[in-house]
Amino acid sequence: MTNTTDWKAALNSEKDFKDFITDYFQKHEELTGNYENSSYYEYYTVRLDSRDGLIITLTTGLNTTGNTGMSPIPFKDVEKLSIEQFRQLILHKKFADMHTSLADVFKTVAGVPDAVNE
């Protein structure tokens, strides 16, 4: 993963942040992550599209318990936002841990529980 301080320094400039994100996704096809507990799961994928900007795909569902043999159908949501919209979201969030990684930021912006406090 790219150095934690690199993306934080790039936040100060729209151009620097766009260059950083573009460079990041040239080196990494996509960023994936997940969160799961005994009753709930969430998987996300972030990729960069030259036309639509950042595309965040979030799949959520319930883990089945018991012997019913039936599992609920997962819910899939796709969000599109520009790199600048993403930068603004980050600027308006509070990241208490100075060692937060870019992956943690994506998880927090996507609303994954306890993303920063893991």
pTM above 0.75, yes or no: no
Tens digits of residue pLDDT in 21-76: 898 899 888 988 888 888 888 888 899 998 889 998 888 888 876 666 666 788 88
Tens digits of residue pLDDT in 84-110: 988 887 787 755 555 666 667 766 665
53-62 sheet: strands from edge to edge: 31-36, 40-49, 53-62, 75-81
Q: What is the mean pLDDT of residues 75-87?
A: 88
The answer to whether residue 14 scores a pLDDT higher than 90 is yes
Strand partners, 55: 47, 80
Confidence of residue 9 (pLDDT cuts 50, 70, 90): confident
